[in-house]
A = this chain, B = another copy of it.
Amino acid sequence: MPDGIVFIDNEFVSPEHAKMSIFDVGFVWGDTAYDVTSTWKNWFFMLEEHLDRFQRSCDRFQLKSPYSRDEIRQICAECVQRSGFDDSYVKLQMSRGVMSSRTVDPRLSDSAFVAYAIPYVWIWGEEKCRNGANLYLSSFERVSSRAVDQRIKNYNRADLVQARFQALDEGCDDSILCGPDGYLTEGSGYNLLVVKNGRVASPDYNVLEGVTRGALSELCKLENIPFELRKIHPDELAEADEVFASTTAGGVMPVTRISNQPVANGEPGPVTRRLQASYWGKREQGWRGTRVDEILATPMQSTGTH
């Protein structure tokens, strides 16, 4: 259990007191949308993009928020402030809630909103996120967007968990999954990017539209590095000059081995390093940032609906 502050049932509590009903169908039916943003040196990064995506995820799952967007922004900021962490991992979560025992109609449920701030998370530990991980090309298929739209950030992640088990059993750090069409999708919480001849490419379908990946497309533009979303066959990994991953929980992360084989010379490549330095440098300067204290000082624009 991490340190931090959780907003749940309209109050701020410590993580050990953050409990939900076992009857919340957000759990029982996997009927929960979420998002993760972060602060670095007290700057939220691309907060509005995260709030936009969270709203889209909720809309696609037909989850109605009991809080307005302004209220959610304030709750996130207050979680960070109360936690005392300058560098934090901030989750927003909307579950379907506890339903009446007399119906299975999800339209009749009141959604439950939870947010929390905990210390910044490095998905594979800071060292591997900064200097290179070994990802296993999984035999588990990523759930198809025809079944669950993977643009919706959601808790139906059993494919990712099983792929992670497999990766760890094979001596790797985590996994990469292909979709039902046999093309690369993503990993257990991160987008995948491939560099060949100075061009950056990332899978265009059946993946989360990563906010960090979106930031990278902007950084590529600033640095005059060609960036494209397209189908990527797993065979391209063996011929890639560089491979890296992107996520809120680690930023720009070199992938130096795939299924225990080195990518190129097995070291983080120059494009990855350039984008990584640019990403962290700009974050520290507040690029695309919103200060926690500024949010808290801003009067709310709307009164919300709860």
Binding site for B on A (CB under 8 A): 1-3, 6, 8, 15-16, 18-23, 25-32, 61-62, 93, 96, 98, 100-101, 104-107, 114, 116, 118-119, 121, 123-124, 140-144, 146-148, 152, 154-162, 164-165, 168, 174, 180, 188
* Contact among B16, B123, B140, B162 with A61 in the assembled complex (CB-CB below 8 Å): B162
Which residue of A16, A61, A98, A159 has the most chain B CB atoms within 10 A of its CB atom?
A: A159
Which residue of A27, A101, A158 has the most chain B CB atoms within 10 A of its CB atom?
A: A158
- B144-A140 in contact (CB<8A): no
**In the complex, which residues of chain B have a beta carbon less than 8 angstroms from the beta carbon of A6?**
22
A83 to chain B, nearest CB (A): 13
Q: How many copies does the complex hold?
A: 2
**In the complex, which residues of chain B have a beta carbon less than 8 angstroms from the beta carbon of A123?**
104
The CA of A262 and the CA of B25, in the complex, are separated in Å by 31
A165 to chain B, nearest CB (A): 6
- A104-B118 in contact (CB<8A): no
What would 11 more interface pairs be, CB under 8 Å, given A20-B21, A101-B121?
Answer: A28-B157, A29-B158, A31-B158, A61-B162, A104-B124, A142-B147, A143-B143, A143-B147, A147-B159, A152-B158, A156-B157
- B155-A148 in contact (CB<8A): no
A-B contact pairs, 20 of them (CB 8 A): A1-B100, A1-B101, A8-B22, A18-B23, A20-B27, A22-B116, A25-B161, A27-B27, A27-B32, A29-B160, A30-B158, A105-B168, A144-B144, A144-B180, A146-B180, A147-B180, A148-B159, A148-B162, A156-B157, A180-B180
- A30-B147 in contact (CB<8A): no
* Contact among B30, B158, B168 with A161 in the assembled complex (CB-CB below 8 Å): B30
In the A-B complex, the 8 residue pairs with the closest CB atoms: A2-B101, A19-B19, A141-B146, A156-B156, A147-B159, A143-B147, A141-B147, A29-B157
The CA of A155 and the CA of B106, in the complex, are separated in Å by 15
Which residue of B has the minimal Cβ distance to A6? B22
- A20-B19 in contact (CB<8A): yes
